[in-house]
Amino acid sequence: MILPGKTLGVLGGGQLGRMFAQAAERLGYRVHIYEPAEDSPAGEVSAREFNAPYTDAETLATFARSCAAVTYEFENVPVEPLWKIEKLTRLLPHWSVLETCQNRLREKHWLRKHAFPHVPFIEVEAGDDLGAAIRRLGLPCVVKTADFGYDGKGQLKVTSEDGIARAVEAFARQRSVVEKFIDFKCELSVIVARREDGVMATFPVAENIHTKHILDFSIVPARINAATLAEAEQLGRAIAEKIGLVGLLAIELFLTDRGEILVNELAPRPHNSGHWTLDACTTSQFEQHVRAVCGLPLGDTSVIKPVVMVNILGDAWKPTPAGAVTEPNWSMLLATPNAKLHLYGKREPRVGRKMGHFTVTGPTADAALEAARALKAKL
């Protein structure tokens, strides 16, 4: 057990690292951030920030030695530096979990090997006939890069012969995966925390609505039947157990029109669809991540009241004819009693960039969603 007063390290300096650091420090831990870019959102709220490439062995070693344990806030971290960290301090989750989840093909082969329900796919090596693979799987489908993809990056939906040509042009020179397009009823996610001794806790299943491949709304409780909720939670626990998780794991799921649950992707870290836990759950996903990594008792994951989380993208900052930028209507949002605003400290708003989020609670999930949509429209 790593008790409060110790220092925890985080690889990556984005908003997930920021909210992890805030949760850790409330529990009495110091947090060090390792982030190649200076002035990161996580670095702003942490005791120390190390700015160097992941290939800088000396700085990485200094960082690792300063921490009782190291975790990560996103998957785009090279695996090789993790081997060095593991020789100097505890790394949780284990580097092998990251290695599996950061590559779509490794992840899908792992799901197939362990007989977890997943989206049908075909592996395509660089230089192979991508067009033939697409035709073999059938249209519509989705072509994705094998490595380092999130928020819709590195993927293309293909629905026609013209689309096949565009996919070949975009992906033929790199390793990729062709997935069957799933006509789903809704998208779900479940977040599981697991300690080293195998004790687990799951957060209630979230129902997610995406716009242009980026999460727009997360709705809790998910508006599906109790049997499906239980099946999704059990699937999440089984995956966390099999992969040997110590920390936090988000499992993104499709619920098909036929009632099947299929695994879409895994993320061994706090997840965008879990941000609602900050305001409507006894224990947030970030605090739970700290508890799991440190071997503390896992917190209560009960929902206090129905909630909807809404992402705030850089699109909400509107350009003026004079070349300036108009801030979103924060006063309106802050004056709403059942809404809570979270901004990530990012200096430059860009289209599609996650700048913050807000949550809205209500008597029911539908009521909270209606209120959330209205607030977003006025933002």
Task: Give residue-wise pLDDT tens across range 25-55.
Answer: 999 999 999 999 999 999 999 999 999 999 9
Number of domains in the chain: 3
| Confidence grade of residue 147 (pLDDT, cut at 50, 70, 90) | confident
Amino acid present at 156: L
Domain assignment present for 71? yes
pLDDT tens readout for residues 55-88: 999 999 999 999 999 999 998 899 999 999 999 9
- CA nearest neighbour of 252 among 274, 283, 275: 274
Return the pLDDT at 127.
76
Can you tell me the distance from the alpha carbon of 63 to that of 268, in angstroms, rounded to the nearest whole number?
A: 21
If asked whether residues 64 and 161 sit together in one domain, one would say: no
The pLDDT tens digits for 199-237 are: 999 999 999 999 988 999 999 999 999 999 999 999 999
The values of phi and psi at residue 141, to 5°, are -150, 175
Question: Residue 152 pLDDT > 70, yes or no?
Answer: no
Q: Are 122 and 81 spatial neighbours (Cβ–Cβ below 8 Å)?
A: no
* Residue tagged 């909400």 (tokens): 316
| Percent share of the chain, pLDDT over 90 | 90
Which ranges of 172-225 does DSSP label H, i.e. alpha helix? none
The verdict on 203 and 346 lying in the same domain is yes
Q: Flag the least confident range among 164-173, 264-273, 350-359.
A: 164-173
Same domain, 222 and 365: yes
Lowest-pLDDT choice from 200-209, 268-277, 321-330: 321-330
**Residue 198 lies in domain:** 184-378
Single residue among 72, 91, 110 that ends a domain in this structure: 91
Q: What is the pLDDT of residue 151?
A: 61
pTM assigned to the model: 0.95
Whether residue 279 lies inside any domain: the answer is: yes
Percent of the chain scored above 70 by pLDDT?
A: 98
For residues 90 and 317, give the distance between their C-alpha atoms in angstroms, rounded to a whole number: 41
Rg (CA), the chain: 21
Per-residue confidence (pLDDT) for residue 53, from 0 to 100: 96
Q: Which residue from 304, 236, 229 is spatially nearest to 271, judged by alpha carbons?
A: 236
**Residue 26, domain member (yes or no):** yes
Q: What is the CATH number of the domain that holds 364?
A: 3.30.470.20
Does 332 lie in the same domain as 198? yes
The alpha carbon of 233 is separated from its chain's Cα centroid by a whole number of angstroms, namely: 17
Same domain, 323 and 208: yes
pLDDT at 174: 87
Whether residue 105 lies inside any domain: the answer is: no
Cα 283 to Cα 87: distance, rounded to the nearest angstrom: 32
pLDDT at 109 > cutoff 90: yes
Whether the pLDDT of residue 149 is over 70: the answer is no
To which residue do tokens 């081997």 refer?
A: 83
8 A C-beta contact, residue 308 and residue 366:
no
How far out from the chain centre does Cα 290 lie?
16
- Which residues pair with residue 202 across a beta bridge? 192
Query: What per-residue confidence (pLDDT) applies to 120?
Result: 94
Tell me the pLDDT tens digit for each residue of 8-24. Answer: 999 999 999 999 999 99
Q: Is the pLDDT of residue 153 over 90?
A: no
Residues 240 and 356 in one domain: yes
Binned at pLDDT 50, 70 and 90, residue 148 comes out as low
Q: How far apart are CA 337 and CA 279, in angstroms?
A: 13
Which H or E run includes 164?
helix 161-171
- Better-predicted residue by pLDDT, 125 or 25: 25
d(CA 247, CA 286): 10
Handedness of CA 372, 373, 375, 379 (dihedral sign): positive
Instruction: Inform me whether the pLDDT recorded for 287 exceeds 70.
Output: yes
For residue 352, is pLDDT > 70? yes
- Start-to-end CA distance of the chain, whole Å, equals 44
Residue 140: name the closest of 120, 157, 125 by CA.
157
Predicted pLDDT at 2: 98
How far is residue 244's CA from residue 122's CA, in Å, rounded to a whole number?
26
Instruction: Tell me, yes or no, whether 176 and 205 share the same domain.
Output: no
Q: What CATH number does residue 61 fall under?
A: 3.40.50.20
Q: Which residue has the tokens 């990485």?
A: 60
- Over residues 300-329, the mean pLDDT reads 94
Please give the average per-residue pLDDT across 297-307, as a whole number. Answer: 98
The larger pLDDT score, comparing residue 171 to residue 194, is at 194
Q: Average of pLDDT values for 188-202?
A: 98
Identify whether the C-beta of residue 9 lies closer than 8 Å to the C-beta of residue 82.
no
What is the C-alpha separation between 175 and 121, in angstroms, rounded? 13
Written as six digits, the tokens of 302 are 């009960």
